[in-house]
Each structure stands twice: as structure tokens, then as C-alpha cells.
Amino acid sequence: MFLSVEPDAVYKNEFRRRRFASFLAMADEVLAARGSCRILDVGGRLEHWAAFADLWAGMALQITLSNLEAVPVDDPRFTSVAADARALTLFADDSFDLVYSNSVIEHVGTWTDQKRMAAEIRRVAPRHFVQTPNYWFPVEPHFRLPFIQWLPEPWRLSIVQRRACGFYPRAADIDQAYGILDDARLLTFDAMRSLFPDSEIVRERVALFTKSLIAVRR
């Protein structure tokens, strides 16, 4: 799997900062009610939280990072576990107050895999904030190319074998090319509404275009 690793520079993006502040407003609501907030970050990285440390300084957050492999953490506010986003069997129902996931659900596989991840998010916490890039935004964010997600598959296979694209290296052969194309399955507004039927689907806009979609349940 080529799950995209974003360079630190992308965290300077003002969209991401505003998005994270919106998520923290939900955590603030939990803090006001119970004094602490247990957060599961599905597919989360320490670097992501560190980039916005000024926004949550002093907040009593207990953060569990869930990835296919656990990562070392030396901050007592964090716990890291190895877990499949499609089967969070480590956790009982409502183990957390709030689930956060940023640009992950498009990477878990097929539509069936995405349904499983969404169901698990809804199971392990009463609240969630799940962001994903919008299929209909003209620039594909992983390939950093306009319109590539709308092209026929043979054209996309040819492109990724001819050049590096965004976060992906140039594919050495057809097998690697298919692996790159399979890495991200972008979602539409209707698809997100189907995955999260009891959530508000928020549109994050750039000018006239919807850049990202966020499933929010408070």
C-alpha cells in the first residue's frame, strides 16, 4: 500500500488549521461536559498534532493513535495501538468520546472496506469528525494533478508509469501502477452521506469548489 505520507509543509496549510480548530471545538464541548476528552485518531500521526500544538495547549485530551502498526510515543497524552480501521476490535462500543480521522478513509480499499471503517467509527464513539478529499475537486490531492481521477483507467496507468505524481514515485511496471491507482479511492458527497447517515456532511470550499468533505456528528 502506498498510503500517502504528507511532508511537514502541508500542515502549514490554512485550510488544515481551520479544520483542526473546528474539530477542537467539538472536543471543547466534551471537556465542558465531563472535564476530559478521550479521542481516537484513526490513521493519525504525532506530527499532525504537533503542527497544531498551539491550538490545543492546556486541553485535557487523551489521544489514542490507531494505525496498522503502532508508533513509538513519548508524550503521556498519547497512546499508540496497532489496529485495522475496518475492524477496531480492540475497542468496545463507545470507548471514546470523539473519533477524528483526516484523509484516511479514501485509503482503506474498496467501497465495502470504506463502509466497514465508517461503521467502526460510528460504533466506538458517539461523536466523530471524519475528513476526506472530494472526488469532484479538480485537482487530485495525492497525485497533485488536475482531473486525473476522472480519466479512464488505461490513461491513468500510463501517466503513473511515465512520471512521478505528487506523493507517488514513478511506477516501475504495470503492477506498481495498479498499486498506486488502488491506493486512494476518493468519495463524493452522496457517498459520504451514505457512509455516515446520521452525520452532517460539511463542505470545505475553495472559491466555487468543494475541496474536502467532513462527516460531523456531535
Return the pLDDT at 8. Answer: 38
Please, which pLDDT band fits residue 3 given cuts at 50, 70 and 90?
Answer: very low
12 has pLDDT over 80: no
User: Where do the domains of the chain lie, and which CATH numbers do they carry?
Assistant: 8-136+184-217 (3.40.50.150), 143-183 (no CATH)
**3-state secondary structure string across the chain:** CCCCCCCHHHHHCHHHHHHHHHHHHHHHHHHHHHCCEEEEEECCCHHHHHHCHHHHCCCCEEEEEEECCCCCCCCCCEEEEECECCECCCCCCCCCCEEEEECCHHHCCCHHHHHHHHHHHHHHCCCEEEEEEECCCCEECCCCEECHHHCCHHHHHHHHHHCCECCECCCCCHHHHHHHHHHCCCECHHHHHHHCCCCEEEEEEECCEEEEEEEEEC
Average pLDDT, the chain: 95
- Using a pLDDT cut of 70, give the percent of the chain over it: 94
| pLDDT band at residue 184 under the 50/70/90 scheme | very high
Which pTM was predicted?
A: 0.93
Band of pLDDT at residue 50, cut at 50, 70 and 90 = very high
Question: Could you report the per-residue pLDDT of 99-140, keeping only the tens digit for each?
Answer: 999 999 999 999 999 999 999 999 999 999 999 999 999 999
* Cα separations in angstroms, 141 against 5, 14, 107, 212: 12, 15, 13, 10
Q: How many CB atoms lie within 10 A of CB 2?
A: 17
Average pLDDT over residues 30-50: 97
Across residues 21-33, what is the average pLDDT? 99
Average pLDDT rounded to a whole number, residues 190-214 = 98
**Phi-psi region at 172: left, alpha or beta (left = phi > 0; alpha = psi -120 to 50):** alpha
